Amino acid sequence: MKIMVVTDKSGKVVATYQPPTKPAKGDPVFQFHAGPGQSVHELDLAAEYDKIESAEELHQRIAEHIKKGKKS
């Protein structure tokens, strides 16, 4: 699952966007731009993330995923 994520300087997820896997011809293109003190991440997540129904839980799990990736 590909997802775009915006985080603030403390690593808190402030926005997510899952682009369509097969956009139709003529569909608009959506891009994230980070504001001051923010970062944009493009992640490939395991399919299990797609089953999370709560935005709060999704943001928390993505923030943990990003923090683990920075330690490696």
> What is the model's pTM?
0.80
* pLDDT for the residue numbered 45: 93
pLDDT at 72 over 60: no
- pLDDT tens profile 31-58: 878 999 999 999 999 989 989 999 999 9
The yes-or-no verdict on residue 30 having pLDDT over 60 is yes
Please tell me the predicted confidence (pLDDT) of residue 70: 66
Is residue 65 within 8 A of residue 43, CB to CB? The reply is yes
Q: How large is the average pLDDT for residues 24-32?
A: 85
Q: Dihedral (C-alpha) 50, 52, 57, 61: value to the nearest 10 degrees?
A: -40
Confidence of residue 10 (pLDDT cuts 50, 70, 90): very high
Q: Which ranges in 1-72 belong to alpha helices (H)?
A: 55-71
